[in-house]
Amino acid sequence: MEIKTKPSDIILHQQSRTLEVLFDNGERFNLPWEYLRVFSPSKEVRARFGKDRILVLNKQDVVLKEIKPIGNYALKLYFDDGHNSGLYDWRFLYELGVNQEKYWQEHLDRVAALPASE
């Protein structure tokens, strides 16, 4: 799927712990920090997108400390757990926004399927 839209505004909301991304086609997404961290585009996580994707756990309290633009095509996000690899390009951010409900439910289903810890 070719995405030609790009962000017209990006707003970091500290209180709601979301990154709001407004695209030039009028779409707007509020992406929770936990969601962005769990679905990081870093090689170790994203390389196996889908059911074989690495399951990232216990990021509900993660803090998005810093955002750096990378040229005119991506963002680099810096989280307080030390994670800062992977570039969130415009296509990937748009994909995360459009599929947020689906992707998050798939993540929750995978977490629920884990064996109970003793």
What does CATH list as the number for 7-112?
Answer: 3.30.2020.30
List pLDDT tens digits, range 50-99.
556 788 898 999 999 999 999 999 999 999 999 988 899 999 999 999 99
User: What is the residue extent of each domain of the chain?
Assistant: 7-112
**Contact of 75 with 68, CB cutoff 8 Å:** yes
Residue 118: is its pLDDT beyond 50?
Answer: no
In angstroms, rounded to a whole number, what is the distance separating the alpha carbons of residues 92 and 18? 16
What mean pLDDT, rounded, does the chain reach? 89
In angstroms, rounded to a whole number, what is the distance separating the alpha carbons of residues 27 and 21? 8
3-class SS at 66? strand
Residue 66: strand pairing partners: 78
Q: How confident is the model at residue 7 (pLDDT cuts 50, 70, 90)?
A: very high
What is the value of pTM for the model shown? 0.88
